[in-house]
Amino acid sequence: MLLDKIVGQDVVITSLKNSLRENRIHHAYLFHGVRGVGKATTAKYFAQCILCDTQDGCGMCKNCIAIANEGNPNLQIVETTSSIGINEIREIKKKTAIKQGEHTIWIILEAERMTIQAANSLLKILEEPPEGNIFLLVTDSPNRLLPTILSRCVSVPFKRLHEPELLGLLKAIIPQAKDDNEKCMVVARMANGSIGDAIELWDGPILQRRNLVVEKLLEVSRAPFARVLGFSIEWEEDRETVITDLAIMLKWFRDILILKTDSDLPLSNPDYENELRILSEKYSLESVIELIELLGELIPALRANARPRFILGYLLLKMKKGVMP
């Protein structure tokens, strides 16, 4: 069955399969959870199963073939990179008035992009759903949707993937991943349960950025005070980059805390375990906790307009002071 292809969402898949088998399909669902865990793919597969002649998503019946060729009028996907406006919803309303087949399924991706007018207009449709129409709303920010919309939808919560699931998927999707177990581990840790994030991390600049920041942090522990001040002056001052850098530092010091306290929690930077062990000897427990708390305060401060250069200077000196002679 098509839905069995989804990895790591057993509860969701079982309940969707049950409703298909018992022919108990609701008229509105909200697929929600962090980004990159299979919500949109599941919505598309579920829609295909509803329309499929065998309800398996067989891939061979006329409905399945039409979906594969993106030409099934009974499956409509609303997808936009800007906002979803009232006109889009009015268009849906018009089309729901004309009965096409037994079911017409509307998938609204990134449903939180609906303007308030669009959301209110959709609410009216959901309150009196035209027969045969099924709405699958997909979002990673359900709190940005109207509570009245949420209450009209069956909630389908997606969870973060477990690390072995993430590793398996990563190796299935990216051919080179099979040969680089160490990078796989790091990416899986950093992706925190999201295959979408893992794929982005694999090719993207974040992993390189982490390496750069970590190398600086290692230097901080060795370099003299004057040099450490220099780091903050040389540091890139782009606010978003510095926020990312501080999040990397936070994970780094959490790793040091894990090693200092002999916790069995997994490290975020397992490829630097040796270096982390050496540092965990150099920092006192108090200074590690103090740095973690400080980072937790400085990230929101940066978001709220504090000067990146000032924050970095203060932080790096604190880090340097924390190193025991």
Which of 105, 116, 125 lies closest to 147 in space, CA to CA?
A: 116
Give the nearest distance from C-beta 54 to Zn ion in angstroms: 6
Q: Are 224 and 239 in contact (CB under 8 A)?
A: no
Task: Please select the residue that binds Zn ion; options are 3, 12, 52, 299, rule is CB under 5 A.
Answer: 52
Alpha helices in the chain (DSSP H): 10-21, 39-51, 62-68, 86-96, 116-127, 147-152, 163-173, 181-191, 195-203, 205-222, 225-234, 239-260, 273-282, 285-303, 308-322
Nearer to Zn ion, 37 or 52 (CB): 52
Phi/psi at 161 (5° precision)? -75, 150
Residue span binding Zn ion (CB under 5 A) among the ranges 29-37, 52-60, 139-147, 187-195: 52-60
Q: What amino acid is encoded at 223 in this protein? A: A
Q: Which is nearer to Zn ion, 55 or 115 (CB)?
A: 55
Using Cβ positions, the residue closest to Zn ion within the complex turns out to be 52
CB-nearer residue toward Zn ion: 16 or 249? 16
Out of 7, 25, 58, 323, the residue judged to bind Zn ion by CB under 5 A: 58
Calpha distance 238→212 (Å, rounded): 15
**CB of 264 vs Zn ion, minimal distance in Å:** 47
Q: CA-CA distance, 24 to 21, in Å (whole number)?
A: 8
Contact region for Zn ion (CB under 5 A) — 12-20, 57-65, 68-76, 82-90? 57-65
Task: Assess 161 for contact with Zn ion (CB under 5 A).
Answer: no
- CA angle (102, 74, 33) in 5-degree steps: 105
**Interacting stretch for Zn ion, rule CB under 5 A, among 45-53, 69-77, 130-138, 220-228?**
45-53
- Show the binding pattern over residues 63-102: x = contacts Zn ion (CB under 5 A), - = does not: -x--------------------------------------
The residue ranges that bind Zn ion (CB under 5 A) are 52, 58, 61, 64
